[in-house]
Chains A and B, each alone.
Chain A
Amino acid sequence: QKEVEQDPGPLSVPEGAIVSLNCTYSNSAFQYFMWYRQYSRKGPELLMYTYSSGNKEDGRFTAQVDKSSKYISLFIRDSQPSDSATYLCATNNAGNMLTFGGGTRLMVKP
C-alpha cells in the first residue's frame, strides 16, 4: 500500500462545476500538505501549501486537511477548461522529500 493514495480518474466535469479532489495518507508523521497542478509535458506547479488541519482558501481554490482521518481535499470553484490538468497531492515531514499521490487527471469541458 502506498503512503499517499489518490484516485487516478479521469474526472470529467462541465465548465462552472465545483470539483472535489481527494487524497488519503497513512503516515501520521506527515506535517505539511501540498497540492500541485501538472499540465501535460510540464513540471508540477505548486498551488496550495498548508500545515494545519482546517481550510485554506486562495481564489477559486480551497485546500482542506483533516489530520484525524488523514484526509486531504482540494476544491475548485467555477472550474474552467484551463483547469484541465493532473492534480497531485503531496506531503512531507519537515523540510525533506515529498511523498506524492499518483495524481488525478481532471478534464473540464466547455
Chain B
Amino acid sequence: GAGVSQSPRYKVAKRGQDVALRCDPISGHVSLFWYQQALGQGPEFLTYFQNEAQLDKSGLPSDRFFAERPEGSVSTLKIQRTQQEDSAVYLCASSIGGDEQFFGPGTRLTVL
C-alpha cells in the first residue's frame, strides 16, 4: 500500500494480558518510530529504529514494553502484563531520513 498501515486498529485486553501491535511502514523507509497518544494529548515518543537497529528506546515507559524490527521492515510493539494506564492510541511513523515522518492510523488499546 501507499501509506503506513497498523494492525489491529482496535484491541481490548484484560489487565495482565500480553498484546502485540504491528506496523507496516512505507516501502523503502529506513526510519521507523513508535509514539503513544493519550486521550486529548499530543503523541509522545516511545522508540526509534533505523533499519533493524533500535537506536533509541528512551521513551518506553517500563520494561513491560518491547519493540523489534528484525528484518528492517515490519515492526512489532509488545506490551507484557498490560495495565490500565497503558490504554492509549499507539502510532507508528516511518521516514526516509527521519525528518518528515508519515503516520499510520494507530492502534487504539483499551485495557479493562
A contact residues vs B (CB 8 Å cutoff) = 4, 6, 8, 32, 34, 36, 41-46, 49, 88, 90, 92, 94-103
Evaluate contact between B59 and A88: CB separation under 8 angstroms.
no
| Interface range for B | 20 to 34
Partner among A8, A36, A42, A98 whose Cβ is within 8 Å of the Cβ of B45:
A98
- Mark out the residues of chain B between 84 and 108 whose CB falls within 8 Å of any chain A CB in the assembled complex: 91, 93, 97-106, 108
Contact (Cβ within 8 A) A95 B98: yes
Q: Check A100–B102 contact: CB distance below 8 A.
A: no
Contact partner of B91 (CB less than 8 A), chosen from A43, A49, A102, is A43
B56 within 8 A of A: yes
> Which of A43, A45, A96, A102 contacts B41 (CB under 8 A)?
A102
Chain B residues with CB below 8 A from A6, complex form: 42
Show 16 residue pairs from A and B whose CB-CB distance is below 8 angstroms, ordered by the A residue.
A34-B100, A43-B105, A43-B106, A46-B100, A46-B102, A88-B42, A88-B43, A95-B98, A96-B48, A96-B98, A98-B33, A98-B43, A98-B45, A100-B42, A100-B43, A100-B44
Q: Are A45 and B48 in contact (CB under 8 A)?
A: no
Q: Across the interface, which residues of B come within 8 angstroms of A42, CB to CB?
A: 105-106
Known contacts A8-B40, A101-B42, A95 near B91 by CB under 8 Å = no
A97 x B56 contact (CB < 8 A): yes
Partner of A95, one of B31, B103, B108: B31
A46 to B99, CA, bound (A): 11
A27 to chain B, nearest CB (A): 14
Q: Which of A43, A100, A101 has the most CB of B within 10 A?
A: A43
B108 CB to nearest chain A CB (Å): 8
In the complex formed, the residue of A with least CB distance to B106 is: A43
